Amino acid sequence: MSALRHPVSPISLAGRFGAYGGRYVPETLVQPLEELSAAYAAAQADPEFHAELRTLLEKFAGRPTPLFLAQRLTDLLKGPRVYLKREDLLHTGAHKINNCLGQAVLARRMGKRRIIAETGAGQHGVATATVCALFGFECVVYMGEEDMARQALNVARMRLLGAEVRGVDAGSRTLKDAINEAMRDWVTNCATTHYMLGSVLGAHPYPSMVRDFHVCIGEEARAQYLAAENALPAALFACVGGGSNAIGLFHAFLSDAGVAMIGAEAGGRGLQLGEHAARFNGGSPGVLQGTYSYILQDDHGQIALTHSVSAGLDYPAIGPEHAALHDSGRATYVAVGDREALQACQLLARTEGIIPALESAHAVAAALERVPHMAKQGGVIINISGRGDKDMGIIGRELGLTHGEKF
């Protein structure tokens, strides 16, 4: 038997978080992934790379973002003080720009001038289109047609920025299908093209590289919180689609054992398969789109359809590092339904004057439920990963705020 003849694989396993992660791709993509890994390792060791990225993050994107004490929300909840990490204030309106700037500098070092990306809510697509305009790159963004319909504003933004938006009419016509199509493009054009993957998903090195570009969220938040409270927060709250904003916030606190970490997944309309995107509530380990992690699937290993009011959370797999954090118990993941997220969005708007993206509203909802039951001393941090402008069509309709007016 061949397996016994050559029992030892000549190449070691790459990019594992416990049992999760890895590299499950067609052979054609292994070498491009190796080249990306090598280019990223070289960039990490190069002070010039970090200096250029830091300058772009400060002068172009608007880092550092504030850590804001939400006093009226704190008074309302009667628990620990609630702080908001304001990633929604970044250029393009969400944390996604951190990763796109990092990958853009990297792509230029690799000599790749054509960029492809997938997008769900359109925030990563807009951030990608933005950095491509800034760097003078050709830009193609794949987007499910259902997402194009519900995030029409972001489609127009991408086009205004010079990107080509290619609608994907396959499967559930959402983020998962956009990733399939982006991978088909990459497997065809890998010699000239960089795939600017937008979350901590996919094959190695993406989950760790994208995380690294977002750890600034948690590093800033930790220092800001220490400066304000001279202590560490009791808990962190972040929404988890693929999980990039959550891992970005969590990472700097991983060795702070007293800091609880709560990831909010999309509970959608209910916890039957097909009605939600809560991978830790009915999902199981499997392989999708390059990585081994928790996925929503049927008994035959076919990937399940998902639903969330928030396009950015509407995806059947979760980043592999979250799978490891879940299994180890270091982080806790909860499902937040569409209705709770919409209510949390409205509450934050009215108590703090901040309209969060529907994705981030899931994190707010998870905090609203837990903070009143926590010990009153100290505080918590909620990551407001993006702003809600893009969601006004859905929010207006769902909350009955429009009276016949059209957006």
Partner 1 sequence: MSRFAEIFSRTKRERRSALVPFITAGDPSLEGSLAIALELARVGADVLELGVPFSDPLADGPVIQRSSERALARGVHLDHVLELARCIRAQSSIGLLLFGYYNPFLRMGLERFAAAAAVAGVDGVLVTDLVPEEAAAYRAALGSQGLDTVFLAAPTSPDARLQAIAQASSGFIYAVSRTGVTGARNQVPAGARELVSRLRRHTELPIALGFGLSTAQQVAEVAGFADGVVVGTALVDAIDRGAQTGGDAGAVHAAGAFLRGLNGTPSRT
Site residues for partner 1 per CB under 8 A: 1-4, 6, 9-14, 22-32, 170-171, 176-177, 179-180, 183-184, 187-191, 286-290, 295, 297, 299-303
**Smallest gap, in angstroms, from Cβ of residue 190 to partner 1?**
6
Q: How far, CA to CA in Å, does 153 sit from each of 122, 241, 392?
A: 9, 21, 9
Residues designated catalytic? 96, 118, 385
CA 93 to chain centre: 13
Give the count of beta carbons closer than 10 Å to the beta carbon of residue 170.
12
Give the whole-angstrom CA distance, residue 219 versus residue 237: 15
Please name the residue that has the structure tokens 């991983």. 254
Closer residue to partner 1, CB minimum distance, 115 or 216? 115
**Smallest gap, in angstroms, from Cβ of residue 168 to partner 1?**
11
Q: What is the dihedral of CA 39, 42, 45, 51, to 10 degrees?
A: -50
**Smallest gap, in angstroms, from Cβ of residue 129 to partner 1?**
23
Contact present, 304 and 316 (Cβ < 8 Å): yes
Burial of 285 per CB tally in 10 Å (0-12, 13-18, 19+): middle
Closer residue to partner 1, CB minimum distance, 119 or 385? 119
Closer residue to partner 1, CB minimum distance, 12 or 230? 12
Q: How many CA atoms lie within 13 A of 365 on its CB side?
A: 28
Closer residue to partner 1, CB minimum distance, 293 or 385? 293
Q: What is the DSSP letter of 94?
A: B
Contact present, 341 and 310 (Cβ < 8 Å): yes
- What are the φ/ψ torsions at residue 190 (nearest 5 degrees)? -60, -25
Closer residue to partner 1, CB minimum distance, 150 or 176? 176
Give the count of beta carbons closer than 10 Å to the beta carbon of residue 302.
8
Please name the residue that has the structure tokens 């957006």. 407
Closer residue to partner 1, CB minimum distance, 32 or 243? 32
**Smallest gap, in angstroms, from Cβ of residue 288 to partner 1?**
7
Burial of 258 per CB tally in 10 Å (0-12, 13-18, 19+): exposed
**Smallest gap, in angstroms, from Cβ of residue 303 to partner 1?**
4
Q: How many CA atoms lie within 13 A of 73 on its CB side?
A: 29
- What are the φ/ψ torsions at residue 373 (nearest 5 degrees)? -95, 0
Angle between the 206-229 and 96-110 helix axes, to the nearest 10 degrees?
130
**Smallest gap, in angstroms, from Cβ of residue 317 to partner 1?**
10
Contact present, 385 and 89 (Cβ < 8 Å): no
Which DSSP string corresponds to 234-287? SEEEEE-SS-HHHHHHHGGGTT-TT-EEEEEEEEET-SSTTS-B-TTTT-EEEE
**Smallest gap, in angstroms, from Cβ of residue 167 to partner 1?**
14
Closest CA to 293 of 53, 94, 24, 8: 24
**Smallest gap, in angstroms, from Cβ of residue 398 to partner 1?**
29
Length of the chain: 407
Closer residue to partner 1, CB minimum distance, 143 or 358? 143
Give the count of beta carbons closer than 10 Å to the beta carbon of residue 300.
5
Closer residue to partner 1, CB minimum distance, 263 or 290? 290
